[in-house]
Amino acid sequence: MKIEKDRVVRFHYAVSVQDGGEVESSEGREPLAILAGHGNIIPGLEKAMDGREAGDKFAVDVPAAEAYGEKREGMTQRVPKKHFGKQRLEPGMQVVLNTNFGPRAVTIEKVGMSVVDVDLNHPMAGKDLHFDVEIVDVREASAEEIEHGHVHGEVATSTDPRGAGTLLAPVAEVERIAELDVVRGVALLGILLMNIEFFSRAIAGLDGGMLPGTTGIHHWADWFVHVFVRGKFWTMFSLLFGMGFAVMLGRAQARGAAFAWPYLRRTLALGVFGIAHFVLLWGGDILFSYAVGALLLLAVYGIRREAFRGEPGPGVPTAGVLLYVLPFLLMLASAAMMLAGGSEMTPGQQAQQAGQVAEVESRIAAETEVMRDGSYAAAVEWRLGELPRQSANNAGFAVVVLGVFLLGTWLVRSGLMREPGAHLREFRRLAWIGLPLGLGLALAAAAIETSHLRGVNDARFLFAMALDSLGALPASLGYIALVVLAFHGPMRRALALLAPAGRMALTNYLLQSLAGVLLFHGYGLGLWGLGRAWQLLLAVLVFAGQVGFSHWWLARFRHGPVEWLWRAATYLRLPPMRRA
């Protein structure tokens, strides 16, 4: 029986560093067992086993790129000595450190009186390996083994850095790109700071800017969100979504696995989540837009696959920036022409404008009445009626989303977000450029107009919103850079607390909507119309609760509940949920 996907392989091995001595061997132990095609071992060795059969003996050289990757710069971290217990530490020693992301094999670089410098690179990163392998036997895997993705009841490769088969194990959960999870956590807070207003205000008035007439602390809370939050965090989430596409594609390419069909299923499932979210929970859904944007991204990948292979060129990020910028430049030009043309309108134009204003105001009033005073059934009925209009709007907006997705894919493929610690200089530059440019445009827009008085200041508000939207992309890139730099600085431990919330981003996004409607809508606590400052305080408290819940949940389960469903729909099998 030949080795192929979904077959269990038992084998002996000896591994050495090329041009160096033996590092590890299974001699004197039971053979190790893997489930072929499920990433149980490093990609280069799994590829060399394909097609072999019991009794085969062979040698293979595995380059670092197909083993544990190249050694990344900037991966040194200073850790308080107390975290190592009473063990004696010496430079060059490899130990297991319990980090915020789980147990991790690290190398001691320097030992001080109260702190220890450690290298977070895998001990074998940057090393070309040589394997001598003997295949002992090959068998069909059981349905349960295939479902769980690993061998049962035999000596299997271990993802514990202290266990047998350490050098054969693939990149494990503890080696996730930690910065991505942290940035997702920050983005979740920003999304809630923005969305919480519209749990207490009609979605039909989303284009209204700041509510006129607010004063004091509530005015400044509203102004803070309008300038520093509005537009910045959906953009950040979109960049992260594009990064997720690139990570999934890179892993599939490294393993020679299928990508397009699983990603299509993943995208369709996201669209279903989005529609369910809109109808059953809240009318401010963005998941459906993401699903449409992801379909467009998959189409771009299908047409221009060569652009997603090898060294990333300038084409993908350039296309992404243009797709994002051009609609807002057109909006800016249109508003400028309206302002330059003066305010004179014909009686027919005046009547048309008055009708449009009346229609919007009527929708706002009707939605407010239903959400503030109505039942849950009435709210669902209202959103069902709005679904065709909202779906059309979201589908159109998906072109802008696609642009941000493309830029996000480039951020991973270029190495910036795949190895953030090795690119801190670039992140400093990004922060110095992105934040002044993006927030400068936001402040300029706020100086022009912050509230939309329909039929009165349409052109001025449109001009301001175009400026603000043009600034949202550089501002969100600057925010990401700031988070990465802080994570590689003195705020690492504090920011790491947000990572579990980021790993459950989809679950937490939906839970934010659930909390919002239960707090503000008529069928909940009925806090509709609560002052803006109190809204932001509630947002911070809800988010703090989500961080605590995420830590609790991921200590017991491998995935967030919605992420588990999403993964099942992607790979057409139920992934293991509980931790051992």
- Could you read off the pLDDT of 325-382 as tens digits, one per residue? 999 999 999 999 888 876 566 677 667 777 888 888 899 999 999 999 999 999 999 9
- Collapse the DSSP code of 106 into the 3-class scheme (helix H, G, I; strand E, B; otherwise coil) and give the result: strand
Mean pLDDT of 219-241: 95
Mean pLDDT of 489-498: 90
Non-local CB neighbours of 473 within 8 Å, separated by 6+ positions: 235, 321, 324, 325, 404, 407, 438
Mean pLDDT of 140-148: 80
Residue 219 above 90 pLDDT?
Answer: yes
What H or E segment, with its residue span, contains residue 537? helix 532-554
pLDDT number for residue 100? 47
Rounded distance between C-alpha atoms, residue 135 and residue 58, angstroms:
9
Non-local CB neighbours of 89 within 8 Å, separated by 6+ positions: 81, 95, 108, 111, 116
Rounded distance between C-alpha atoms, residue 269 and residue 252, angstroms:
19
- Could you read off the pLDDT of 522-551 as tens digits, one per residue? 999 999 999 999 999 999 999 999 999 999
pLDDT number for residue 254? 63
Residue-averaged pLDDT of the chain = 86
Residue 176 above 70 pLDDT?
Answer: no
pLDDT band at 447 (very low <50, low <70, confident <90, very high): very high
Min mean pLDDT across 87-91, 223-227, 374-378, 407-411 is at: 87-91
Which stretch, 265-279, 408-422, 558-572, has highest mean pLDDT? 265-279
User: Helix H segments across 149-231?
Assistant: 178-195, 216-228
**pLDDT, greater one: 46 or 575:** 46
pLDDT number for residue 516? 97
Non-local CB neighbours of 294 within 8 Å, separated by 6+ positions: 241, 245, 263, 266, 267, 270, 405
pLDDT number for residue 311? 67
pLDDT number for residue 580? 56
Residue 562 above 90 pLDDT?
Answer: yes
What domains appear along the chain, each with residue ranges and CATH number? 7-68+129-156 (3.10.50.40), 76-119 (2.40.10.330), 178-341+394-571 (no CATH)
Rounded distance between C-alpha atoms, residue 102 and residue 298, angstroms:
33
> What's the token pair of residue 101?
């992301």
Residues above pLDDT 70, as percent of the chain: 91
Residue 432 above 90 pLDDT?
Answer: yes
> Concatenated DSSP letters for 343-361?
S---HHHHHHHHHHHHHHH
- Could you read off the pLDDT of 9-45 as tens digits, one per residue? 988 888 888 666 666 777 767 788 888 888 788 888 8
